[in-house]
Amino acid sequence: MRTRSHSTSAFDPLEDKIRKLEEELDSARRTIIRLVPIEYQEILESFYECQSTRDFWRWKELAAEKIANRVPENAITESFGTRRADCPLCGRSTMGPYAEGFAIPRGLIHHLTGFGNAHHCDVSEAAFRLGRKYVEREFGEAERTAQQAEDADKARVLAARRTTETLYKVHPFSPPELVDEGSRSWFGTCRAAEKISWAEARVISLGFSRHLDGNVLSLTLEREDHIIFADIRDEKKITFNIFKSPPKKSKRLKKGSFDFLDSIKHDLQSKFEERLSTALLLF
Ligand SMILES: [Zn+2]
């Protein structure tokens, strides 16, 4: 039978003191919430209905909106075409050159969520901190475990794809990448498989050489003191990355880069040379 390790359960007076202080702080936060009118209190305590951390992030916005929409008409003043009111939770106002109070609803929502430069409401902040601790206690560990499993699955799929699909070498030293790696996979802007050979032909027509080493493809053009790697993976353009030649690992390896849109139809060679010269000059 396995016995529980006692190494982490040894009494630590400092940890015990911190725990007690945190409990007192949470108790003070609950007291702050109970000082506001019951209809707001119910909204601020409804984080107990959250079923996940993601739910909680949405809940904060929704709670702020509900509170802002419940400000009674007699607490709202009309000033220079905007409806304004003090915070119904903490009583705080804003002092502007023309008007006082938060614009209803957006200005007040920003105060309640602490968005941007807005001063975060002390009352809603107390509720949000309690809510954050609640979802962490209830779902934090399970969510992290699920995330790790998902990441491991993705890594397995990527590793398998790397052995069967074409990898694109677009840098002298960085590892070659799949067609949709990096920002292309987030934005879904990678070139469709049937357009890849069109892009290869376009680059080769500009004087580039095609090298295939196993499943690693590179398209390069060597010049006197630089080498250019073509990256054909984007949907509507080819990116040319210029490096010193012969390439040596150093901070100054890269000499520039430029995009060449697929929509360019005529005088490809002269337009390419023009852009290459500009990119080298700019660098
Ligand atoms: Zn407030």
> What DSSP element (H or E) covers 159?
helix 141-164
> So what's the pLDDT on residue 249?
82
Give the pairing type, strands 237-244 and 226-231: antiparallel
CA distance 276 to 179: 24
Q: Is 92 exposed, middle or buried (0-12, 13-18, 19+ CB in 10 A)?
A: middle
> So what's the pLDDT on residue 2?
44
More confident residue, 8 or 41: 41
* Residue range 244-253: mean pLDDT, rounded: 81
> What DSSP element (H or E) covers 257?
strand 254-261
Residues 6 or more apart whose CB falls under 8 angstroms from that of 203 comprise 219, 230, 232, 238
> Which of 128, 137, 268, 283 has its CA nearest to residue 203?
268
Expressed in angstroms and rounded, the spacing between residue 131 Cα and the centre of ligand 1 is 17
Expressed in angstroms and rounded, the spacing between residue 140 Cα and the centre of ligand 1 is 28
CA distance 248 to 40: 64
> What DSSP element (H or E) covers 181?
none
Query: What percent of the chain stands above pLDDT 70?
Result: 94
At residue 136 the predicted structure's pLDDT band, cuts being 50, 70 and 90, is very high
Expressed in angstroms and rounded, the spacing between residue 121 Cα and the centre of ligand 1 is 4
Expressed in angstroms and rounded, the spacing between residue 56 Cα and the centre of ligand 1 is 20
Query: What percent of the chain stands above pLDDT 90?
Result: 76
Q: Domain map of the chain by residue range?
A: 15-142, 167-282
247 pLDDT more than 60 = yes
DSSP state of 88: T
Expressed in angstroms and rounded, the spacing between residue 51 Cα and the centre of ligand 1 is 26
> So what's the pLDDT on residue 1?
42
> So what's the pLDDT on residue 97?
63
> So what's the pLDDT on residue 94?
76
> Which of 227, 211, 102 has its CA nearest to residue 219?
211
30 pLDDT more than 90 = yes
CB-based contact 230:240 (threshold 8 Å): yes
Q: What are phi and psi of 132, to 5 degrees?
A: -60, -45
End-to-end CA gap in the chain: 67
At residue 187 the predicted structure's pLDDT band, cuts being 50, 70 and 90, is confident
CA distance 156 to 82: 55
Expressed in angstroms and rounded, the spacing between residue 28 Cα and the centre of ligand 1 is 17
Q: What are phi and psi of 27, to 5 degrees?
A: -65, -40
Expressed in angstroms and rounded, the spacing between residue 93 Cα and the centre of ligand 1 is 8
**Tokens read off for 163:** 């052995």
* Residue range 151-164: mean pLDDT, rounded: 94
252 pLDDT more than 50 = yes
> So what's the pLDDT on residue 95?
64
At residue 185 the predicted structure's pLDDT band, cuts being 50, 70 and 90, is low
Poorest-confidence range of 101-115, 121-135, 203-217, 250-264? 250-264
At residue 10 the predicted structure's pLDDT band, cuts being 50, 70 and 90, is confident
CA distance 40 to 274: 65
CA distance 46 to 283: 56
129 pLDDT more than 50 = yes
Q: What are phi and psi of 182, to 5 degrees?
A: 80, -145
Expressed in angstroms and rounded, the spacing between residue 20 Cα and the centre of ligand 1 is 27
100 pLDDT more than 90 = no
Poorest-confidence range of 119-123, 134-138, 206-210? 119-123
> So what's the pLDDT on residue 8?
57
> So what's the pLDDT on residue 193?
86
CA distance 167 to 219: 12
How many distinct helices (H) and strands (E) make up the chain? 9, 9
Enter the pTM of the model: 0.67
64 pLDDT more than 70 = yes
At residue 4 the predicted structure's pLDDT band, cuts being 50, 70 and 90, is very low
